[in-house]
Chains A and B, each alone.
Chain A
Amino acid sequence: MRAEPQDGDLVAMTLRGHPEAFATLVERYDRAVYHLAYRTLHDVEEARDVTQEAFFKAFRSLRTFKTGAKFSTWIFAITYHACCDRLSRRKHYSGEELPERADAAPGPEQRVISLDEASRLRAAIDALPEKYRTVVTLFHLQGKQYDEIASVLGLPMGTVKTHLFRAKEQLRRLLSGMEVTE
């Protein structure tokens, strides 16, 4: 039985003139990249555009990918930065604060009630401030690889852990129907 090629091998193959190897990377990560974009932007069209943009940028600048680095972290970082650009453009055009809670009605507590477990959790994550929501989304995608999450966000690992801890505290309170104070 042949082992699945590692991400690094697929990058190397693409660089050696086999662009079809990049297709495997797209198949591995397109869903996760779209998830990150959608959970950050909350807009299907924008998330779609950002996902395409991220893979296109990655493909064009594949030579800058450092050997030994994780492709997932790299593509998530590209996606996250593209999302930040979109969010700051939204802020620029609307003249408002970043949409920490753009969807004001109905309130998160109200939405959390009467939904099934996964939907309740998702609604509670949506109710978090943007900086916590992104950390939770990356935790969902990368697990307890705090150093990788820190690389994506460009934050110190301690800050990531603090954000994640506070996010989980807020989620617990939200899920148990308690008042959330930021």
Chain B
Amino acid sequence: MTMDELERAILELPLEEPPEGLRASILLATAYRPAPAFSFVELATLGALGAVGLWLVVQLILGGGSLFVQTLGTIGSALSHTLSNGAVVAWLAAGGATALWLTLFNGSHPLLVASHRSERSAGR
């Protein structure tokens, strides 16, 4: 057998047959790994909100209850006063609609994102 023949014979050797299920187990551990229920940003936001909530509860228990209720009342009345103005509501609606319209072009439309997410989790 010449060197060329030997090289050719080596290159033509069939590859070993991998055990059954190997590819599936690799894919499940990598490409099709189930997505976590919450992203890091979502978890951080939830954590921050939880911490603020806990802090408020502690403040209420420590006797700041009346001041807290008074502040909430002030904010509420300011909001209702503002929102009772027709022009403000119209501008808010126009702004919201424009923002929603723009999300159609950059792929971040809330409905599209939600359906993409559910498709991905269903595909796994």
Q: Point out residues on A near B: beta carbons under 8 Å.
A: 14, 19-23, 26-27, 30-32, 34-35, 38-39, 44, 47-48, 51-52, 55-56, 59, 117-118, 121-122, 125, 136, 139-140, 143, 168, 171-172, 175-176
Q: A48-B18, A52-B22, A59-B30 are in contact. Are A122 and B7 (CB under 8 A)?
A: no
Is the CB–CB distance between B31 and A48 below 8 Å?
no
Counted as pairs of residues, one from A and one from B, with CB atoms less than 8 Å apart, the total is 87
Q: Can you name 24 A-B pairs with beta carbons within 8 Å?
A: A14-B31, A20-B32, A22-B30, A23-B30, A23-B31, A26-B26, A26-B27, A26-B30, A31-B18, A34-B22, A48-B18, A51-B18, A51-B22, A51-B26, A59-B29, A117-B9, A121-B10, A121-B13, A139-B10, A143-B11, A168-B6, A172-B1, A172-B3, A176-B1
Which residue of chain A has its CB nearest to the CB of B25? Answer: A52
With A19-B31, A23-B31, A31-B17 known, 16 other A-B pairs at CB within 8 A are A20-B31, A23-B32, A26-B31, A31-B16, A32-B15, A48-B18, A48-B22, A51-B22, A55-B26, A56-B30, A121-B9, A121-B13, A136-B10, A139-B7, A140-B11, A143-B11
Q: Complex Cα distance A14/B3, Å? A: 42
Residues of chain B within 8 A of A22, CB atoms compared: 30-31
Among B14, B19, B30, B31, which residue has its beta carbon within 8 angstroms of that of A44? B19
Min CB gap B2→A, angstroms: 9
Q: Complex Cα distance A59/B32, Å? A: 11
Q: A19-B32, A23-B32, A172-B1 are in contact. Are A140 and B13 (CB under 8 A)?
A: yes
Is the CB–CB distance between A168 and B3 below 8 Å?
yes
